[in-house]
Each structure stands twice: as structure tokens, then as C-alpha cells.
Structure 1
């Protein structure tokens, strides 16, 4: 089957969802409420980090801030569930959330840059928009793994090998769903349209949800280590303060 026919069939299959969601995502009142929720979520998260979770490493502070910026209350809820030093016990599910959040922060930034550049500024065709956005998502997603590894002294090619091995399945699933949903909802929208930005935010959250079970499986089978238990960071900080006091 030719690719254009396949794309047409997929679009027709999702027509009911598009007809339902496009008016909602284009509604100025919905947009205003969403902006307020995102602002409140990011503000709450930053307050909590500053006052109760300074022990978190700077990278994870940035990760959770981006997650809340992309997904609003959902992002804040994920941080509260798995990212705070106050969590009672760690689990595979919490490790999966943190691993997905780490991937999501980089890939999300790449997707925002790619969609804005290819569709919003250059007004390219759908195929080019998808290709460029995928490229930016992979670039940003890999960079968020390679950079910290190199800071720890791992050689570049070894860091790239680790990133390709551990991040590719998660990035691929996340971006197939996210970019696909965004283009189905807003492929003809312009940067000045509310739908352009709301479809992007909605699709990013769908990408997170799609990639979560993949990351749980990768962590479970040892392909990914998962991010460190934040409760241990609080214990380390407490011990360090006690030693300094002595």
C-alpha cells in the first residue's frame, strides 16, 4: 500500500477523535484555564524544590520543571509521586516514571523546537515537519544522556553507544505517538493559532503516557538503570550536614 494511502486511512480512522478534540483545544477559555493550571503547577513545583527538595541534583530539577511546563497538573503529579525526596518507598513504577520524565524533558524540548521551526516558521509539508521534528527529538533526547555521562568521565563514543542502546526504544515510541497526534490534530495550524500550541501540549502528554510502559520494561530488564531514588539524596544531604556540623 502506498504511504499516502496509508496516511489517509489513518487520518480517517482518527476523524472522530479529531472532530471532538479540535474545538476543545481551540477554545480560548480552555486555553486560558490550561495556562493558569500550568503556571500554578510550575510555581508549586519550584516552591517545593526550593523549600523542601534542594537535595535533588540540578539536572533533575530542570527535568521536573520541563515536565510540569509540558504537562501542567499531570507533570506536577508525576513529580509528587516519584520525584520528591519525601517519597516513602521506591518501586519499579516510580523508577519508570523518573526514567520517562528524563527522556520526556529532552525529547519534548526537541519536539517543541522541531514543530515550531518546521511547521510554525518554515511552513513545510507534513512529511518534512515529521522528519525534522523526529530529528530534533532524538538529538535533544540523546544529548540529555550523553552530556551527563561525559561529565562523569565516560568517553563520547561510549556515551553515544549507551544512549542509543538505552534511549532509542523510549524516544521512538514517545515521538511516534506525540508527533503523530500533533500532526493529526494541527497539521494545518499556524503559530498564531491556539490549536497549534494546545495540540502540541496535548500530544506531548500522550507521548509520555505511551513511553511509560516502555521505560518500565527497560528498567525492569536492566537496559536502563533508572534515575536514583530521591529519598536517598535527602539522606545523603542530611548525613553531609551532620558531618559538617561535627
Structure 2
């Protein structure tokens, strides 16, 4: 057991050393109040554009997906808005595997991101636990929120709790696991010693969430391709359905 713990600690040190150049570049940027302030304004502007488009052009989208896209844009700003524009609007010309992968990742991302924010704030920001406990608790909250975002809608559609839970475990576990390994790992690499009152605590958390999205996207593409998960519905069909109803 001691050898195993030593091996893990050694591996962690090797990873930290390998990414030290990136850390030296990113930490000053993420700690700069001016840069972070400008980013916050950009995010607010992106959320405004999203809400305007949802109300003016994409009212047929369901309330859950509107909430999903709002969280995605809050987490990732212009990147999240670009993902919405490319994959989530009813005006997309045609659907594709890549777009379905993006929508599935966005759905997972919105719940896991919320869980990660709650978990890391409690574990690291409030309780000031050691790194191992921070990672474990944040993982737990990310899984909890990510599964809930799948189980809840399934049960609303009449699926039993047991079946909905099993479906969530099968379809969401691979992408949540990959997303959180990279997101939490990035956050701890950049801000393991930061406190809630420091800008770096929050900016590193936001940055790490986008890293998690990027690495989880190809995983979701594969899960959709092989039928492990269905992927979110084609939004252009909602537009067509509305037009037919008119």
C-alpha cells in the first residue's frame, strides 16, 4: 500500500513537473484582475447575446436546453456561445455526429460543471481540505449533478428511477470521468494553494471547466457513434415542428 501511494505521489510529481511551463504562463494571466475583469464582461455580453437569440429566434427550444446553454456560456464565454451557435440553434442547416457530440457534451458539462463548482468550493474554499479530499469530493459532486441531469428528465418522461439511474450510469460515466479527471487536475495544478478570496481560485476553476469540455467532446462523439448514448435531439426539427403547427 505504501509503495502504491508512493507511486501515485511520484506520478503526480512527474505530471506537475511536465506541465510547469504551462503553469508559469497561465497563473500570472489568471491572477491578473484586469484580464479577469475583461473576461467577466465578455462572458456577460455572451450571455446577453444567448438570451436575446433564445427569446427572439429559438423559443421552441425546451427549457432544459435553454438552461444548459446558459450554464455552458457562463462557464466558457465566447467558446460556449460558439458551440451553441454551431450546434444548438434551430437554424442549423443540418445535424451531424459532430454536432450531436457537442450537444451531448454541453448537457453533461452543464451539470458536471455545477457540481464541480459546488464541490470544490466546499472542499477547498470552505473546509480547506487536503488535495486528495478536494479531488474526491469534487468528483463526487460532479457525478451527482451530472447523473441528476440525466435521471430527472428520464423520470419526467415516465422511466422508473432504477432504469433511469442505470441508463445514466452507462451513458454518462465515461464522459464525466474523462471530463473531471482533466478539469479537476487542471484546477489543482493551477490553484491548489489558492483560497476563495483570491482571483486565481475562480479563474482557474473557470479555465479548467473549458479544458474538461474539450477533452470530453471526442468521448461523447464515440459514445453517440456506437449507440451508448443517443445524443441530444436535432434542434432544427423543433423549428420544423413549429412551422408545421402554424
TM-score, length-scaled by structure 2:
0.97
Matches within 5 A, 1:84-163: 84-163=89-168
State the superposition RMSD in angstroms. Answer: 0.7
Describe the SS at the equivalent of 1:227: coil
Q: Give the counterpart of 2:83 among 78, 81, 85.
A: 78
Give distance in 1, aligned partners of 2:242 and 2:195. Answer: 48
Shift of 1:142: 0.2
Q: Could you report, residue by residue, the CA deviation over 1:82-115 in whole angstroms, capped at 9, with x for unpaired residues?
A: 0000001111100000000000000000000011
The corresponding residue for 2:197 is 192
Describe the SS at the equivalent of 1:6: helix
Q: Does 1:30 align with 2:35?
A: yes
**Structure 1 segments of 4 or more deviating over 3 A?**
none
Describe the SS at the equivalent of 2:228: coil
Question: Unpaired segments of 5 or more residues in structure 1?
Answer: none
Give distance in 2, aligned partners of 1:137 and 1:18. Answer: 24
Give distance in 2, aligned partners of 1:219 and 1:10. Answer: 31
Q: Could you report, residue by residue, the CA deviation over 1:92-142 in whole angstroms, capped at 9, with x for unpaired residues?
A: 100000000000000000000011110011111100000000000000000
Give distance in 1, aligned partners of 2:187 and 2:14. Answer: 17
Describe the SS at the equivalent of 1:72: helix
The corresponding residue for 2:64 is 59
TM-score, length-scaled by structure 1:
0.97
Give distance in 2, aligned partners of 1:91 and 1:15. Answer: 38
